Structure 1
Amino acid sequence: MRDFIIPALSVSISYDRGVGYFTSNWLRLAAGGLKQLAFNGGHARIIASPKLSREDCDALARGMEARLEPIVIKSLSGTLAELECNLEDDTLAALSWMVADGLLDFRIAVAAAELDGDFHDKFGVFGDGHNAVAFRGSPNDSERAFRNYESISAYYSWLDPREAERVAQEQDRFDAIWENRDPNLRVYDVPEAVRRELIEITGRLPRPYQRPAAKNEDRWRHQREAIAAFLDARRGVLEMATGTGKTRTALSILNELHARKLIGGAIVVAYGTDLLDQWNKELLQRTSFPVYRDYADRKETLSYLNASQDAVLLLSRQNLPKLLPKLSAETQRRTLLVFDEVHGMGSASLVSSLDGRLENFVYRLGLSATPERAYDTSGNDFVARAIGPVIFRFTLEQAISRGILCKFDYVALDYAFSDDDRAAVRQAIRRHHAKARTSTPSPVELLYQDLARIRKLSKEKLEPFREFVEAHSETLKRCLIFVETADYGALVQEILMSHAVDYHTYYGDDDRINLKRFANGRLECLVTCKRISEGIDISSVASIVLFSSARARLETVQRLGRCLRIDPDNPSKRALVVDFVRTDDLGPDENDLESTADIERRDWFRTLSKDHAHINGGIAS
């Protein structure tokens, strides 16, 4: 405690601890370090095992509804109630205030039924924002542990790559447990009733540390305005720029409607495992609802339907039509229906299977940074009719000016179509006109899509990119590169291999581990496609490269949002967007909107970045 725990706490801004037993006596012994952690503006996360019998652990493992069983609350109340009488006054005040201020958080872990035991691990990670120390070993967090013969092993991220990898493994393991992704454990938030019982103590004692400087909460007032708009309208779309808190706003609406007893729970409809997993994480952290999942290999709809209490179902978009017949009219009336990336609900297949079937849901909430579907009037009409119109807007421009998203520099690299590209354009146009003379003409939108694909796959972009990264290799650090196809990505990789940068691809489910490695900083660069465009929050992304970019703002805004999130570890972050703009003259048949997409996008980016000077091969400042 004297030589390791307290000194490490004192220089840390994060402390993640998994421990079999956690008692108030440990807090008394570590008081000096905990106070300094608070002075540093730090945050501690602790996963501990409740003092429950084996039978209690088995009961907790009986499905997701066991999260709020009275036995959990009873056990935790007994454990935390001892703090007031066992801790010294200043330590009690420190603990109470840190919980009240959100600087300290607890979660409770119990073993899955098949283990027939307890969460009994002991490990932890200290971090100062740059380096980290991981440790593991036999002591519990109790006073007796420091009277026993105990030992720990410690690993230091700055010593050598093997030590750094061990630290990263311990951090990954803690995160997996915290986020309820370890199949051997069930992890629960401390019940709100228990948290309030503890916080009630705070009024008796002065705060024993300087509270970190208050953030400018007024810049987030758009969330309160969005909540008020939905509560008034009861249905509609919140159009909020990526990174401005759409998910948290939706969770606040869910909690408010439930507190008013207007709903019993919610169904969240989204597309993609990554996005649905992120919803699961946010729901576990910010609500007390049991969460069931029906996507990928999760098949928990039946458990959700049989749940004995209010709950939330996370549902893959394509599964919604099959679910509706299983829900009674009363259940639909008392369920908040949330559509993330709501523009996706306008696809032809969903329109045909859902039109006229959502009216029983009184509360229908759509979320999107760009709800308008390009070239799809019928899809847009369905979203407005079935889910609701846009009832609140908060734009990228507003988010950047208010400091919610970071500013960025814009670089447009010039390229010109090759003879092959021009031939492909002429062929696409001829094919469209030939089809137009038949009894089944193709819509012009298909021509636009063909022309867009030719532009996205032009190999003439590769050489300007090669020259740019030769002059600005720092662009490849914390960088996302968007390509149209894996084959095109292979051409980009040839350029990356000439630079000493750790990169990988992320195209399909088999590559999901690479997204995790990129998020954790173990990859500097990720070559990807549209699968990462929606809903993924990696605040350290510093630059994006847009080999593939659509005329429609939908895709561009989402990809831009990947690099504009404020990075807590880099408060002075200024992002970089590298784009490609076709500058050769258009052919005589190229008088459509799609052919001028690069120019329109360049002008918009310049306005948004406030950097109006076009510098080919350099960064505008």
Structure 2
Amino acid sequence: MQPTTMLRDTDPAPEYRSDRGNIIEDFYLPALRAASHYDRAVGYFTSSSLALLGQGLNDFTDRGGTIRIIASPYLEQQDIADIEAGYALRVVLERAALRDLTQAVEEPHAARGLGKLGRLVAESRVEFKLAYVASNNRVGMYHEKIGIFRDGRDLVAFKGSANETRSGLVGNFESIEVFRSWDPRDADRALRISEDFDDLWHDRTPLLRVLPFTHAARQVIEQAAHRTAARADLDHLPPHGAPVAVEEPRNDTPGTLAIPRDLIVRDYQKEAVHNWFTHRGRGLFRMATGTGKTLTALAAAAQLTTMLARQNKPLLTVIVVPYQHLVDQWAGDIARFGMTPIRAYEATSNWYARASDLGHALTLGVARAGVIVTTNKTFGDAPFQRLLADYTGPLLLIADEAHNLGAARLRTKLPPNAHYRLGLSATPERWFDDAGTEALTDYFGDIVFELGMGEAIQRGALCRYSYHPVLVELDDEEAELYVTVTAKIARLIAAHQGTAPLDDDSPLGALLRKRANILGHARAKLAALHKELQARRTQPHQLIYCAEGRHPLAHEHNLDEPTQLDQVMTMVGTDLHMPAARYISDTNRAERQAVLRRFSTGTDLQAVVSMRCLDEGVDVPAARTAYLLASSSNPRQFIQRRGRVLRKADGKDTADIIDFIVVPPGGASALQHETERRMLRGELARVEEFARLADNEADTLDLLRPLRKRYGLFDT
């Protein structure tokens, strides 16, 4: 079919330079829309090149256009080592090219071009070949950059510094020279570039070797195109209006987040999303641990993406989480919603270029949507902050465990250009930090939806549980240290008239941690734990939360005493012969995933022993029994730990929580008595909260009645 617009009608300039025009809008896309054949030899496969192709492929595809691409695979050190070791060169090169191509098509902003490109591949109208330098028994990369557009009558050839990547054509300062066959001044050069490409394609260029690659690439492209075409989303929620009505997903928004067809969106999740929209896309969700905050937030992001896509507006979604393993966990859920996010953590070189590339693609309309998931640490660092500041399009910031972003070092980093903001937390209020709590609500907005644990259990979103407090006494040495530290805390608070800083590194923060550690490391807990474990030694799916670090007295007296976690591991694994594994901050991500996978089966791993890193966001729905050795009065910690074991799972109706409650020894002085009374009040606050929703609430209250009577605590 003859195109209505010919190449010469696009009137290409003889040169395009970053300071004198837009290479994409002024040259590349008009030429692609007018051409019937496109040849390109350049660098290696990138997601941006696929996205760029997608922008101009509609008319090209309808006209029966054909594409020939020559790329040079990027060789990693292992590839080079394999070649030097005598591996088949073609096999290694194909492996490297498939790695490039697979990574490219999985990027969010490549999605828009995949449907059309997949059709061209299926119809054998796209061919790929690999080029490499072969000289003196060495293998090198082909770096030339040339391209040719043809329309059956004329051709336009170009060459220059620009790679066919988003950063190459937009983010960098680049230039290309253009040669038009109908211009006598350009004709010879245009034809010579065309002949050079044909020589490359037919492997007639000295020093270079060119290999077919279409067959190997076909499966990657077609599968990616199929996934893209299958993506769907729900109809958008209006900012104001009737209650949310979930409809069947529709296949009208490829390249965006899409609520999966197999996801049952609960009524309360619909209500949360609706409330967020009625507050103009800002607010906090206070949702009990285990009630599906992640999926609720992604449903909101999917609806927002669809709304903006229908207005031809893109959306960048940035999700900030506390830890690296939560980045991976979120990434799995995002993939279920139809997109592959950029994971931004560890070395900047691992993610920055791709994230910057995504920002450019969204700004220029090549991509409709993109997702970046990052850690609190990376979020606060200069490179990520620069990335946020440079992005000028619609931005949604989702903060998982949003209370963390109220910390002094992070609350100043929250991007003011994020028009849409969503904070998630079971306990958004920061403990003893009114300024941090106020900063959160000032930025995200008010709590727009709340689902407490009691309501979650009643609705069936969490399972029921029994609560078993186990009373253990401090020994005399621990009690004396507790009184001493408490006196220091009181003097420090008095000296600052109640305004002493509570940061982790502050004197008051250190003292509060030390006092909590005295309770968490109480030595009597180990004997009590042994007794409880012995009673359940045949049961699977048991979690044990230990106190962090070493016993404070070990620090005081420089004792070589094993940590509580080490002692528990010995008790569980050696003494009781229960298969157990650690899950701590030093455990690498692969090991963590293996531990959780083995734990979920309940066959070869009976218990997981952890500290804080299981507190926030980690999914362990298989857990049926939790032992709480660490005694924190911070409600966030004990609420999260309870939530870990209350998540629903197949065949799980109830859970058991065994909580080790520290009580003072007898015979205290008057000063000690008052200090211990306050200590016990803090412990009982947790007991009251746990018992209130437990199936055996009355039994728990009866157990504590003598203790309350002794310390006069019936008023608490």
Partner SS state of residue 539, structure 1: coil
Matched, 1:294 2:353: no
Partner of 1:458: 522
Deviations 1:479-522 (A, max 9, x none): 11111125111122232122121102122243544432332234
In structure 1, which of residues 330, 336, 347 is the aligned counterpart of residue 407 of structure 2? 347
Q: Alpha carbons of 1:253 and 1:594: their partners in 2 closer, same or farther (altered >3 Å)?
A: farther
Aligned equivalents of 1:53 and 1:589: distance in 2? 71
More divergent stretch after superposition (393-402 vs 67-76): 67-76
Q: Alpha carbons of 1:305 and 1:593: their partners in 2 closer, same or farther (altered >3 Å)?
A: farther
In structure 1, which of residues 191, 209, 213 is the aligned counterpart of residue 227 of structure 2? 191
- Asked if structure 1 preserves the Cα contact closer than 8 Å seen for 2:231 and 2:338, the reply is no
- Asked if structure 1 preserves the Cα contact closer than 8 Å seen for 2:468 and 2:700, the reply is yes
Aligned equivalents of 1:498 and 1:292: distance in 2? 45
Partner of 1:179: none
Matches within 5 A, 1:571-586: 572-584=652-664
Q: Alpha carbons of 1:509 and 1:384: their partners in 2 closer, same or farther (altered >3 Å)?
A: same
Q: Alpha carbons of 1:229 and 1:479: their partners in 2 closer, same or farther (altered >3 Å)?
A: same
Aligned equivalents of 2:465 and 2:630: distance in 1? 19
Aligned equivalents of 2:656 and 2:496: distance in 1? 49
Q: Alpha carbons of 1:228 and 1:588: their partners in 2 closer, same or farther (altered >3 Å)?
A: same
- Asked if structure 1 preserves the Cα contact closer than 8 Å seen for 2:108 and 2:371, the reply is no
Matched, 1:223 2:269: yes
Aligned-residue offset at 1:437 = 7.3
In structure 2, which of residues 473, 489, 501 is the aligned counterpart of residue 416 of structure 1? 473
Aligned equivalents of 2:444 and 2:231: distance in 1? 36
CA RMSD of aligned residues (A): 3.7
Aligned equivalents of 2:119 and 2:660: distance in 1? 57
Structure 1 residue runs of 5 or longer lacking an equivalent are 1-51, 81-111, 115-184, 197-213
In structure 1, which of residues 497, 504, 509 is the aligned counterpart of residue 581 of structure 2? 504
Higher relative contact order (CA 8 A, sep 6+): 1
Q: Alpha carbons of 1:359 and 1:592: their partners in 2 closer, same or farther (altered >3 Å)?
A: farther
- Asked if structure 1 preserves the Cα contact closer than 8 Å seen for 2:114 and 2:225, the reply is no
In structure 1, which of residues 490, 506, 531 is the aligned counterpart of residue 566 of structure 2? 490
- TM norm structure 1: 0.64
In structure 2, which of residues 322, 333, 336 is the aligned counterpart of residue 271 of structure 1? 322
Aligned equivalents of 2:321 and 2:262: distance in 1? 31
Partner of 1:396: 453
Q: Alpha carbons of 1:216 and 1:54: their partners in 2 closer, same or farther (altered >3 Å)?
A: closer
Matches within 5 A, 1:594-605: 594-605=679-690
Aligned-residue offset at 1:398 = 1.0
Q: Alpha carbons of 1:61 and 1:325: their partners in 2 closer, same or farther (altered >3 Å)?
A: closer
Matches within 5 A, 1:50-449: 59-62=101-104, 64-65=107-108, 67-68=110-111, 70-71=113-114, 75=118, 190-194=226-230, 220-233=266-279, 234-261=281-308, 263-288=314-339, 290-297=340-347, 299-307=350-358, 308=361, 309=367, 310-321=369-380, 322=382, 323-328=384-389, 331-332=391-392, 334-351=394-411, 353-354=412-413, 358-433=415-490, 435=492, 442=500, 446=509, 447-449=511-513
- Asked if structure 2 preserves the Cα contact closer than 8 Å seen for 1:551 and 1:594, the reply is no
- Asked if structure 2 preserves the Cα contact closer than 8 Å seen for 1:506 and 1:512, the reply is no
- Asked if structure 1 preserves the Cα contact closer than 8 Å seen for 2:315 and 2:393, the reply is no
Aligned equivalents of 1:511 and 1:501: distance in 2? 23
In structure 2, which of residues 542, 546, 563 is the aligned counterpart of residue 479 of structure 1? 542
Aligned equivalents of 2:624 and 2:330: distance in 1? 24
Aligned-residue offset at 1:75 = 3.4
Aligned-residue offset at 1:523 = 2.0
Partner SS state of residue 415, structure 1: strand
Partner of 1:515: 592
Q: Alpha carbons of 1:384 and 1:472: their partners in 2 closer, same or farther (altered >3 Å)?
A: same
Q: Alpha carbons of 1:265 and 1:58: their partners in 2 closer, same or farther (altered >3 Å)?
A: same
Deviations 1:424-463 (A, max 9, x none): 1122133335546768995686454432221111111111
Matches within 5 A, 1:542-561: 542-561=624-643
Q: Which amino acid aligns with 1:252?
A: A
Aligned-residue offset at 1:260 = 0.8
Aligned equivalents of 1:254 and 1:501: distance in 2? 43
Aligned-residue offset at 1:325 = 3.4
Aligned-residue offset at 1:72 = 5.4
Aligned-residue offset at 1:589 = 4.0
- Asked if structure 2 preserves the Cα contact closer than 8 Å seen for 1:341 and 1:534, the reply is yes
Structure 2 residue runs of 5 or longer lacking an equivalent are 1-93, 124-129, 133-219, 233-260, 362-366, 503-507, 550-562, 599-603, 704-716
Q: Which amino acid aligns with 1:75?
A: G
Aligned-residue offset at 1:319 = 2.6
Q: Which amino acid aligns with 1:579?
A: D
Partner of 2:612: 530
Aligned-residue offset at 1:593 = 5.2
Q: Which amino acid aligns with 2:300?
A: I
Aligned-residue offset at 1:582 = 2.5
Aligned equivalents of 1:113 and 1:278: distance in 2? 38
Deviations 1:84-125 (A, max 9, x none): xxxxxxxxxxxxxxxxxxxxxxxxxxxx999xxxxxxxxxxx
Deviations 1:584-608 (A, max 9, x none): 4673341675542221111221111
Aligned equivalents of 1:548 and 1:394: distance in 2? 26
Partner SS state of residue 550, structure 1: coil
Aligned equivalents of 1:509 and 1:76: distance in 2? 47
Q: Which amino acid aligns with 2:399?
A: F
- Asked if structure 1 preserves the Cα contact closer than 8 Å seen for 2:405 and 2:440, the reply is yes
Aligned-residue offset at 1:235 = 1.1
Aligned-residue offset at 1:217 = 5.9
- Asked if structure 2 preserves the Cα contact closer than 8 Å seen for 1:292 and 1:301, the reply is no
Aligned equivalents of 2:653 and 2:659: distance in 1? 19
Q: What is the total number of aligned residue pairs between the two structures? A: 441
- Asked if structure 2 preserves the Cα contact closer than 8 Å seen for 1:60 and 1:67, the reply is no
- Asked if structure 1 preserves the Cα contact closer than 8 Å seen for 2:321 and 2:399, the reply is yes
Identity %: 22
